[in-house]
Amino acid sequence: MVKSNSDFTLTATGDALITKPIDPFVGKPRFDSVVEILQDSDASIGHLEVTLPDEGTYATPPRAVPDRHQYLSARPGIVLGADSAVLDDLSRMGINMITGAGNHAFDYGHAGVEDTVAALRESNHVYAGIGTDLWEARSPSYRDTGNGRVALVNTTTSMAPGSEADEQSPLSPGRPGINPLHVRWIYKLTNEQISTLQEISESVGIEDIKETWLSRDYPSWEDEDYFFFMNLACKAVEDVAHTGIDYHLYEPDHQAVLEQVNIARDNANWVVMGLHTHQGPSGTRNVSGVPDFVRAFAHECIDEGADVVVGTGPRVLRPIEIYNGKPIFYSLGAFFYQTQPISRLPPECFRYYGVEDFASPHELWKTRYYDDDGTPIGYMGRSECWETIIPKCKFINGELKTIELYPVVLKHERHPDQQDSPAYADDCHGLPMIADGERGKAILERLASKSEEFGTVITFKNNIGMINL
């Protein structure tokens, strides 16, 4: 489709782990300010970080024996389920385009995916990345606005095994799930290190049975330029300084997703690519660093026609890059973070945290978020997991001119009367509110510092970050 020459405004948000109604908070000035920003745009993107299961839908069992190091489990520890009414609340706030491909989409199995898709359809949301079959999950979705047609494509590199949608055939129905972008881990080692692994493999008998293991997982393994230690693909590098963990995209997924971006370009004036990924550099996860494969893929998406790339997943802010005049938000962090109201949890969740009373979710949340001394741990103890920004991209005559960055905070200062209760007992806990004063300034300064290495200059005015093109 011909690129629009109109003025167009787009906003985007991070992971919406939303489980509570917003009605009690409407009228709070800093929450209302968030809503006003979202509503003042032609399109507003949000990532649905919860599943919307019907009452009788079972949770997916956890993997009892982990066999991969990627962020793949349907949980560890918890499932994220919410009432479908949260979609109405997101719509009321101004979010009108939803990405659904993520690692929690399969928390309630295939039935949960079907329940979620049914709820999205009933709510009339434009959604992408999830569907009743691969065609629906992979295809772009479209929203028509007064300033042009917007396409949304969505995929995830972090997924639970079995959550991948599959296509329909003459002999089989399609399988509900997410649009996958599989990632393969490559272990870069020196020749000496590989020789050591070869000796170990031979001495303990791994070499004798390796073919049996690999012939199913990697049918072409003997033709690849790797040494396989068990099922780990090891690549020789010359210098120890170049050792580490690398990621390679699975080519069939890789090319299929790029093809959908290209199709979206042909059928819309504006194209948004949503990428959900927990992977960080060198095998890490949920960190602010951007792995090379994510950056390369984001560039490819823009080369194929995306106007904006919106990253979600790690629950922390990642840098912003302007590539060929188009913005890449490598991660917008969390937009809602409301795990504590979730009470519908299967026994495995309680066992994971060592809680014996399966009817006491309060004890589970205390164990998850606080140590024995009451010190916050995990996400609760990481302040950066409770900070985000809302970018407002302003296109003039079809060209991106400015990006306004509004700092938002989800973990709020406690009232003195609440100091002896857990932080999550606060009604506003996990709710997005504009971060004003020094807190807002600090969020923007940290984001600006992260973005400098990507060549992005962020200035500040009236507690709003600005990127001028």
User: Where is the domain boundary, 247, 267, 293?
Assistant: 247
Residue 1 lies in a domain: no
Assess contact for 106 and 158: CB atoms under 8 A: no
Q: What is the reported pLDDT for 277?
A: 96
Taking the chain, what is the end-to-end CA distance rounded to the nearest angstrom?
Answer: 24
Question: Helix, strand, coil: what percent of the chain each, to 5?
Answer: 30, 30, 40
Tell me the three state secondary structure of residue 44.
strand
148: in domain: yes
Residue 141 resides in a domain:
yes
Closest to 380 in 3D by CA, of 319, 330, 337, 348: 337
Domain match, 222 and 275 both? no
d(CA 57, CA 256): 31
One domain, residues 85 and 101: yes
| Tokens linked to 268 | 């819309």
- Residues 239, 255 within the same domain: no
pLDDT score at 419 = 45
162 found inside a domain:
yes
Burial of 69 (0-12, 13-18, 19+ CB in 10 A): exposed
State both tokens at 239.
Answer: 């210098």
Q: How confident is the model at residue 158 (pLDDT cuts 50, 70, 90)?
A: very high
Domain end call among 247, 266, 294 = 247
Task: Find out whether 331 and 467 touch, Cβ atoms under 8 Å.
Answer: no
Range in 35-39, 277-281, 350-354, 405-409 the model is least confident about: 350-354
Whole-number pLDDT of residue 235: 96
For 412, the token pair is 């709020």
Asked if 444 and 325 sit in the same domain, the reply is yes
Q: Given pLDDT bands bounded at 50, 70 and 90, which one contains residue 66?
A: low
Q: Is the pLDDT of residue 414 over 60?
A: no
Asked if 66 and 27 sit in the same domain, the reply is yes
Whether the pTM exceeds 0.85: the reply is: yes
- Mean pLDDT in residue range 32-42: 98
Q: What is the pLDDT of residues 167-203, one digit of tens each?
A: 999 999 999 999 999 999 999 999 999 999 999 999 9
At 429 the three-state DSSP class reads: coil
Of 247, 265, 292, the position where a domain reaches its end is 247
- Separation in Å, CA 296 to CA 1, 19, 407: 25, 34, 27
Query: Alpha-carbon distance 38 to 388, whole Å?
Result: 14
The CATH number given to whatever domain includes residue 349 is: 3.60.21.10
- Shared domain for 258 and 243, answered yes or no, is no
d(CA 411, CA 227): 47
Same domain, 440 and 306: yes
pLDDT confidence tier of residue 412, bands split at 50, 70 and 90: low
- Per-residue pLDDT tens digits for 81-118: 999 999 999 999 999 999 999 999 999 999 999 999 99
Task: Spell out the residues 6+ positions from residue 311 whose beta carbon is closer than 8 angstroms to its own.
Answer: 274, 275, 276, 277, 294, 298, 318, 328, 329, 330, 331, 332
User: Number of helices (H) and strands (E), helices first, in the chain?
Assistant: 11, 22
Residue 306 main-chain phi, psi, to 5 deg: -70, 140
**Does one domain contain both 231 and 364?**
no
What residue numbers bound the domain in which 218 lies? 183-247
Residues, the chain: 469
Question: Is 457 in the same domain as 419?
Answer: yes
pLDDT, averaged across the chain: 91
Residue 387 has pLDDT above 50, yes or no: yes
Q: What is the pLDDT of residue 415?
A: 42
Q: What is the pLDDT of residue 230?
A: 87
My answer on whether 195 and 114 are in the same domain is no
CB 326 within 8 A of CB 391: no
3: in domain: no
Residues forming beta bridges with residue 11, ordered by sequence position: 44, 392
> 438, 136, 153, 432: which is closest to 271 by C-alpha?
153
**pLDDT at residue 377, as a whole number:** 86
Residue 411 has pLDDT above 90, yes or no: no
| Distance in angstroms (rounded) separating the CA atoms of residues 157 and 314 | 12
* Bridging pattern class, strands 148-156 and 270-276: parallel
Percent of the chain with pLDDT over 70: 93
Two structure tokens written together for 89: 């609340």
The reply to whether 70 falls in a domain is yes
Residue 365 inside a domain? The answer is yes
Same domain as 327, residue 220: no
How does 2-15 read in b/e, with b if 16+ C-beta sit within 10 Å?
A: eebebebbbbbbbb
Distances (CA, A) of 89 to 23, 45, 250, 297: 8, 14, 36, 32
Number of independent structural domains in the chain: 2
Q: Does residue 127 sit within a domain?
A: yes
Q: Identify whether residues 142 and 154 lie together within a single domain.
A: yes
